[in-house]
């Protein structure tokens, strides 16, 4: 094994996020730089920050420079090799949204694995093809480097079958129509750090609220996922920035049968036009909605809080009680007013908020007398991917 760095890649439909981690002499991975290229194929922008969050580059690009994902990868690779010439890569870790029922762990990508992941594209049509496009491009340009696929679904493969099956004819379950759960890399990271940051709750009944533009909740028992709010797709569960969350299937039948909506139009509605954006008509950004005086913006915020609290109650029932609630991701880590409202709605579970600690963004935001505790723990999916990639190449 040669090299001293891991590159993490997260490719989307119009963006490429990447992070470079150095391996120190003690075998610890440390962030060197984190960047992204947005607006691929339209109005590309290139941004990179160092480990302290200082901007290293921030510029607009010509659309002809970055027409597709492989162009973005080439640009990022050139920049990294120029600015970090001494870093030799051990491997590249990729976020892959869907691992299906078969992949419960990260895996080194070979031809057979890649073909299997391609077959899962219909289960995540807006994510999987772009995740795989990055792997394909790097396998072509850097065939000597191990590529490691890390799945958003894998952490949830510990669910009991009861939590994964839908009440449909069994043939559909056998064909892959089941509750997979997502945001697994985030939940796995939180579960991995709880023994250090909150050892008293690490082996208990914990609900983690990953609240961001994409949002979901996960029930942990002794650090293992036993249920989650997302199901067959990342559309299910609580409302999100542009996705509706749980929706009566009869609404979809109506939209198709009575409104004549095509599959493509339905996909656009559910993934890009609903959620906080659809309700408010203002924005999908919680910060802007909280500042807005528009009644529908306030409705969207109220709706978000209501359904997060409702699903916390449902997962507490699954766990048979609650020892702790953990907030993470963009809204969870940075919106004390939203945290306060959610905790207030969950007072019946025995959580009492420490308002000052919450406003400061302390790790523990509940009072010492609180029967169930509340926490704010920043997530780090990129580091989780880097760790997995390192483990795979060290074990190869």
Q: Catalytic residue numbers? A: 152
């954006």: which residue's tokens?
277
Identify each DSSP E strand in 71-228 by its residue range: 89-96, 107-108, 147-151, 205-211, 215-221, 224-228
User: In this structure, what token pair is assigned to residue 204?
Assistant: 């208990």
DSSP state of 115: H
Element (H, E) at 46: strand 45-50
- Three-state DSSP at 20 gives strand
CA 312, 313, 315, 319 dihedral sign is positive
Give how far Cα 374 sits from Cα of 194, 207, 346, 364, 366, Å: 12, 10, 11, 6, 5
In sign, the C-alpha dihedral spanning 273, 274, 280, 285 is negative
Token pair, residue 139, equals: 């396998």
DSSP for residue 351: B
User: Would you call 129 helix, strand, or coil by DSSP?
Assistant: helix
- CB count within 10 Å of CB 54 equals 8
Q: Degrees (nearest 5) of the Cα angle 287, 288, 294? A: 135
């Amino acid at each position: 094994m040669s090299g001293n760095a891991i590159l993490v890649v997260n490719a989307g439909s119009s963006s490429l996020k990447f992070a470079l981690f150095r391996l120190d002499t003690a075998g610890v991975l440390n962030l060197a730089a984190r960047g992204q290229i947005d607006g691929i194929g339209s109005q590309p922008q290139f941004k990179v920050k160092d480990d302290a969050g200082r901007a290293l580059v921030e510029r607009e690009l010509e659309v002809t420079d970055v027409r597709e994902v492989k162009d973005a990868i080439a640009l990022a690779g050139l920049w990294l090799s120029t600015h970090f010439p001494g870093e030799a890569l051990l491997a590249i870790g990729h976020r892959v949204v869907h691992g299906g029922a078969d992949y419960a762990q990260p895996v080194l990508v070979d031809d057979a694995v890649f073909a299997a992941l391609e077959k899962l594209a219909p289960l995540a049509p807006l994510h999987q093809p772009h995740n795989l496009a990055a792997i394909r491009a790097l396998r072509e340009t850097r065939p000597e480097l191990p590529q490691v696929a890390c799945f958003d679904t894998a952490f949830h493969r510990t669910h009991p079958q009861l939590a994964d099956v839908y009440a449909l004819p069994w043939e559909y379950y056998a064909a892959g129509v089941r509750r997979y759960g997502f945001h697994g890399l985030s939940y796995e990271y939180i579960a991995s750090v709880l023994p250090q940051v909150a050892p008293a709750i690490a082996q208990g009944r914990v609900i983690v609220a990953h609240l961001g533009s994409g949002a979901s909740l996960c029930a942990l028992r002794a650090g293992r996922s036993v249920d989650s709010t997302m199901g067959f797709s990342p559309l299910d569960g609580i409302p999100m920035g542009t996705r509706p969350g749980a929706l009566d299937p009869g609404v979809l039948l109506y939209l198709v049968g009575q409104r004549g909506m095509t599959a493509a139009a339905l996909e656009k509605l559910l993934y890009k036009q609903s959620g906080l954006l659809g309700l408010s008509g203002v924005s999908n950004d919680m910060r802007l909605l909280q500042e807005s005086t528009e009644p529908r913006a306030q409705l969207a915020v109220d709706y978000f809080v209501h359904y997060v609290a409702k699903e916390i109650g449902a997962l507490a029932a699954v766990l048979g009680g609650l020892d702790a609630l953990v907030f993470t991701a963009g809204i969870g880590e940075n919106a004390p007013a939203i945290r306060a409202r959610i905790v207030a709605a969950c007072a019946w579970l025995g959580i009492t908020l420490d308002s000052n600690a919450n406003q400061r963004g302390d790790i523990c935001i509940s009072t010492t007398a609180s029967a169930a505790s509340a926490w704010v723990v920043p997530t780090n999916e990129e580091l989780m991917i880097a760790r997995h990639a390192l483990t795979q190449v060290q074990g190869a």
